[in-house]
A and B are shown apart, each in its own frame.
Chain A
Amino acid sequence: SQTIHQWPATLVQPVGSPLSLECTVEGTSNPNLYWYRQAAGRGLQLLFYSVGIGQISSEVPQNLSASRPQDRQFILSSKKLLLSDSGFYLCACKGQGSAPNTGELFFGEGSRLTVL
């Protein structure tokens, strides 16, 4: 079965510092990958998605960027963090065996970022 690894699990960073959150997927190949952000007590906002290596689509203009250097690796980055970047970042992929455009998502355990 598939597994999503996210790290770091928790991160405290000063304003203006860089960011790199990593997500790797096991147990599936050529998955659609997604980065979501969850503010405290709220729903999930889709930030980026990728349908293949090097293919990134951004959903909202912001201070963040994403990259997919390998089939099962998805990275979320920032050059200079803002206070508003604080949140819980979740990586997701299509569930193994699920329909590519309509099936369920499988989530990692998340990375909690606090910007001070």
Chain B
Amino acid sequence: SQQGEEDPQALSIQEGENATMNCSYKTSINNLQWYRQNSGRGLVHLILIRSNEREKHSGRLRVTLDTSKKSSSLLITASRAADTASYFCATNAGGTSYGKLTFGQGTILTVHP
């Protein structure tokens, strides 16, 4: 079963606006990761935040993690049409999990030019 659940399922915005996607999970984690998938393509890793971190930035991406609420958010600032894609959160349990990731259902982001 999928641990991560993204919210919203779909998001439509105009270029230049910010996009915020949320992810909730159920069990304890070592880290949480966000991935991007263009239609019909493989997933591309965007950012990883460890369980002892609260916020992380990478370019126009900002990720927050609240382990007490078991939730994370991904903010894309000043969105571009090229940001149109599906975004997935994935959790890693660490330990003897052998690097397995549990993915959420994803948020479909559409950025209109």
In the complex, are the beta carbons of B105 and A42 less than 8 A apart? Answer: yes
Give the distance in Å from the alpha carbon of A22 to the alpha carbon of B87 in the complex.
26
Instruction: Given A43-B4, A44-B88, A112-B40, decide whether A104 and B105 contact each other with a Cβ distance below 8 A.
Output: no
Q: Given the complex, which residues of A lie within 8 Å of B42, measured CB to CB?
A: 4, 90, 107-110
One of A88, A95, A102, A110 near B45 (C-beta < 8 A): A95
Answer whether residue A53 sits at the interface, using C-beta atoms and an 8 A cutoff.
Answer: no
Q: In the complex, are the beta carbons of B48 and A104 less than 8 A apart?
A: yes
Say how far B110's CB is from chain A's closest CB, in angstroms: 14
Contact of A49 among B44, B96, B100, B104 (CB under 8 A): B100
Which residues in window 90-113 of B have CB below 8 A to A? Answer: 90, 92, 94-106
On whether the beta carbons of B41 and A34 are closer than 8 Å, the reply is no
Interface of A is mostly: strand
Q: How far is the CB of B68 from chain A (nearest CB, A)?
A: 21
Beta-carbon contact of B102 and A49 below 8 Å: no
Q: Are A43 and B106 in contact (CB under 8 A)?
A: yes
Give the shortest distance, in Å, between B98 (CB) and chain A (any CB). Answer: 6
Taken together as a complex, chains A and B put the C-alpha atoms of A88 and B90 apart, in Å, by 18
Q: Contacting A109 at CB < 8 Å: which of B41, B102, B106? A: B41
Min Cβ gap B87→A in Å is 11
Distance A36 CA – B45 CA, assembled complex (angstroms): 15
A102 engages B94 (CB within 8 Å): yes
Residues of A within 8 A of B4 (CB): 43
- The 10 closest A-B CB pairs, nearest first, are A107-B42, A104-B45, A44-B103, A43-B105, A43-B103, A107-B43, A109-B42, A102-B30, A32-B99, A101-B99
Binding site for B on A (CB under 8 A): 4, 32, 34, 36, 42-46, 49, 51, 57, 59, 88, 90, 92, 94-95, 99-110, 112
Extra A-B contacts (7), CB below 8 Å, given A104-B45, A107-B44:
A43-B104, A44-B90, A59-B100, A95-B45, A100-B99, A102-B30, A102-B92
